[in-house]
Chain A
Amino acid sequence: MPTNNSSNGSEREKPDGLAISRRAFLGVSAGAATAFAASRVMKRPEFSLVSPPDVNAEGIVTEEWVATSCLNCPTRCATRVRVVNGKAVQITGNPLSKFSEGETCPRSYVGLQVLYNPDRVTSPLKRTNPMKGKGVDPGWAPMSWEQALREVGGRLKSLRAKEQPHKLLLLYGLNSTSDEDLIQRFASAYGTPNVVSGEGLENEAAKAGEWMADGHYTDSAHDLERTNYILAFGASIVESQRPLARNLRMWGKIRRERPNRARVVVVDPRYSVTAAKADQWIPINPGTDGALAMAIANVIISEGLYDVDFIESWTSGFEEYRDLVLGSYAPEKVAEITGVDADVIREVARGFAHFKPAIAWRGRGAGCWPNGSYASYAIFCLNALVGSIDAPGGITYQETPKYRDMPQVVEDGISGEGKTKPRLGFDKNAGLLAEGVVTNQVADAILEGSPYPVEVAVGFGSNFNMSAPDTTRWDEAMAKVPFYVHISPGLTEMAEFADIVLPASTFLEGWAYEQCPPGSGFAEVKIKRPVVKPLHDSKPVAEIIFALATLLGGDVAESFAGIGNNAEGFVRYRTETIMPWSELCKEGVWVGPDYEYHKYDQIFSTPSKKFEFVSGNLEAAFKQSGSGRSDKLALLPHYEEPKFLGDDGTYPLMLVTYHPLLDIMNGNQNYPWAQEIYLVMQGQGWTSLAEINRKTARSLAIRDGDMIWVESPFSKVKARARVFEGIRPGVVAIAVGQGHWACGRWAKGMGVNPNEIIGVDYDRLSGQSSFFNTRVKAYRA
Chain B
Amino acid sequence: MNISLIVPCFVDQFYPQAGLDAVKVLERLGMIVNFPTAQTCCGQPAFNSGYWNEARAVARHQMAVFRDAGAVVILSGSCGAMVKVFYPELFQGQPEEAEAKTLAAKTYEFSDFLVNKLGVLDVGAQFSARVTFHDGCHGLRELGLKDPPRQLLRHVRGLELVEMKEAETCCGFGGTFAVKFPMISTAMAEVKCKSAIETRASVIVSNDSSCLMQIRGLLDRQQYPIKTLHLAEVLART
Do A and B bind? no
Chain A positions near chain B (C-beta within 8 angstroms): none
Interface, chain B (partner A; CB < 8 A): none
